Amino acid sequence: MDRPGALSPLSSYILVAGDESTATQLAIESYLEQAAIHRELIIVDDSTAGSPSHTVPGVRHLQLPRGLSQEEKLKYGVSQARGSTVLVWGREGWAAHSAPIEPVIPPPEGPLVTCIMPTANRPQFLPLAIRYFQRQDYPHRELLILDDGQQPLAHLIPSDPRIRYLRLEGAGTVGAKRNFGCSQARGELIAHWDDDDWMAPWRLRYQVTELLRDDADICGLNRLYFWNPHGDEAWDYVYPPDAPAWLAGGTMLYRRSLWARSPFPDVSVGEDNLFVWSEAPKKILVLEDSRFYVATVHSGNTSPKYIDSDRWHPVPVASVYEVLGADLETYAQLPPDTFSGPPPGPMSQIPKVSLARLSAGPFVSCILATANRPHFLRQAIRYFLRQSYSNAELVVVDHSSASAGLCAGLPCVRFVRAPESASLGARLNLGADAARGDILQKLDDDDFYHPGFLECAVSALQRASATQTSAQTIVAWDCFHVLFAGETRLRHSGHGWAAGGTLCFHRDVWHQAPFRDLPREVDRWFLADTRAEVRAVCAPELYVLVRHGNNTWHQLPDGKSVDGYLEALPLTPSSILDMVEPIDRSFYDELTRSSLARV
């Protein structure tokens, strides 16, 4: 996709309109005659009649209240320019604007903003992040630093009454730290203050002004620059316009009252996405001017950045240099290994579905066929009970009394007893036959499922079915993460799969072609027998395939070993420990023991 705003120069033309419609029309005609190919026209207007701009391509009409001076209106118009070249209409026609570009100043008595910075074991980033806070030109602010790293960072905190440093005991999820920070915030507004990204001096001033002007609950960016200082590479990240509303986590500013209605989920990856996608009513404002923020790409990113999807557009690194300005010299003086590490891997596309709670959605039966593996089943039940999709049941099929005991008394969990000799395919059919839902979701007992997994799968199936004349559609994960017992780092599967542990389909699909009575490879035959259209979901952050030595899937269609193929995949910077809750870590630690792997 060609991105004119990033790959080629954009010229911004600023017209401060008034009550003289003839002069405004003359300026518009002159704009249309300009030679620049990539251009935009910004009309700043405080008249009651408006301006004749509805037929002008590439125009943005900014309506301001009466009473502002010509200089104030011009300053606001220039602050909204996206182009690297800014021209202003005057008596002599269009002329280059040479004054500094900065957002409009908010009212002197703005609300207090609490900037929250969770950090751990990253002393190389902390001084810069504090400096960026201290130089903000919005006066009513405080910085709350939450540190749960192995080594305290109190010695790096300057003597500044606006900065509070809280040392947390015991490692927690990023979501838990954000909730604690919000509970300690004194401000009416809360801003995320990531310790490793660049922020302009006018960031808070701009965001507070726009949030209050729009009467929004939360604001941020869905398009921004990413920069790899170590490799000297840059990208323009553009979130799809037809996808559910999304804001980059580090750019968020929101009302404390929004957090009080809907706190962050207790996870370390994607907690900011789930916060935006929560069911709490909110007005989301996507900001137009992205020049206040540059996110960095490095091996220590809390949420790894993978850059090979159509959302990431390589841009000349000079584009980022222009935004950084004099701060570029600061980065040049940092130690060479500050941002070092392996390059980014394949991008995990954020699914174009809403992760809002679907309690009113169709009833879903999750089918889990197991074979006397209580350690795995206990963990699988945990993952089901954490799912944010509430209108669902879990149907566990096994012959084991131990499995029946684990299911007893649990809400929305049912146990179906199978003959001990029943094959995997037969057990799945028993579960599907006992299911009460109109939609069936196949789950494996040994894999990882993010709390948003089921909502994502059901939403994808509903969207796919809406475009089909029949229900012959199966949703499956096209890519996923892979974990081997004894490791914590994850591998990326690559694309083109239809993961058996992720199949989601309407009950009628199963009725027409039940699972074959086989001990293994039932998923492959099910896809072949149904002849359904497979709709791919690419969201590896929501599903991890776990290999532990006792898997039922051993061989690829070409006869090659599954483990041999998957072990050859490159490791990513992601760790399973960053995705699970503390109670889950002992389960993954025990996977290294051969006694468990052969249960």
Residues 234 and 302 in one domain: yes
- Dihedral over alpha carbons 177, 182, 186, 187 (to 10 degrees): 130
Residues 194 and 318 in one domain: yes
Tell me whether residue 355 is in a domain: no
The model's pLDDT over 49-67, given as tens digits with 9 standing for 90+, comes to: 444 444 455 577 666 656 6
Q: What is the pLDDT of residue 154?
A: 85
Q: Quick one: average pLDDT of 34-46?
A: 73
Q: For all residues of the chain together, what is the average pLDDT?
A: 81
Please report which confidence band the pLDDT of residue 11 belongs to, taking 50, 70 and 90 as the band edges.
confident
Q: Which of 175-189, 265-279, 427-441, 572-586 ranks highest by mean pLDDT?
A: 427-441
Q: Quick one: average pLDDT of 69-74?
A: 78
Q: What is the pLDDT of residue 547?
A: 92
Residues 17 and 90 in one domain: yes
DSSP 479: E
| Domain closes at, from 96, 121, 155 | 96
Residues 79 and 144 in one domain: no
The model's pLDDT over 12-28, given as tens digits with 9 standing for 90+, comes to: 888 887 655 677 778 88
Residues 20 and 154 in one domain: no
Q: Quick one: average pLDDT of 591-598?
A: 49
Q: What is the pLDDT of residue 107?
A: 44
Question: Which pTM does this prediction carry?
Answer: 0.47
Q: What is the pLDDT of residue 304?
A: 44
Please report which confidence band the pLDDT of residue 114 belongs to, taking 50, 70 and 90 as the band edges.
very high
Please tell me the distance from the alpha carbon of residue 498 to that of residue 278, in angstroms, as a whole number. Answer: 28
**What is the domain count for the chain?**
3
Tell me whether residue 467 is in a domain: yes
101 vs 498, higher pLDDT: 498
Q: What is the pLDDT of residue 53?
A: 44
Please report which confidence band the pLDDT of residue 512 belongs to, taking 50, 70 and 90 as the band edges.
very high
The model's pLDDT over 89-111, given as tens digits with 9 standing for 90+, comes to: 887 788 887 665 554 444 446 89
Residues 172 and 71 in one domain: no
Residues 132 and 261 in one domain: yes
DSSP reduced 3-state for 40: strand
Residues 76 and 125 in one domain: no
Residue 227, domain extent: 113-332
Residues 428 and 536 in one domain: yes
Helix (H) or strand (E) holding 129: helix 126-134
Residues 81 and 143 in one domain: no
Q: Quick one: average pLDDT of 376-389?
A: 89
Please report which confidence band the pLDDT of residue 5 belongs to, taking 50, 70 and 90 as the band edges.
very low
Please report which confidence band the pLDDT of residue 599 belongs to, taking 50, 70 and 90 as the band edges.
very low
Which residue has tokens 């570029």? Answer: 328
pLDDT surpassing 70 at residue 253: yes
Total residue length of the chain: 599
Q: Could you tell me the CA-to-CA distances from 42 to 9, 51, 80, 206, 288 in Å, in that order?
A: 17, 11, 8, 18, 13
Instruction: Name the least confident of 61-75, 286-300, 377-391.
Output: 61-75
pLDDT surpassing 70 at residue 130: yes
Q: What is the pLDDT of residue 143?
A: 94
Tell me whether residue 507 is in a domain: yes
DSSP reduced 3-state for 209: helix
Q: For residue 413, what is the domain's CATH number?
A: 3.90.550.10
The model's pLDDT over 459-491, given as tens digits with 9 standing for 90+, comes to: 899 888 877 655 589 999 999 999 998 888 999
Please tell me the distance from the alpha carbon of residue 463 to that of residue 498, in angstroms, as a whole number. Answer: 18
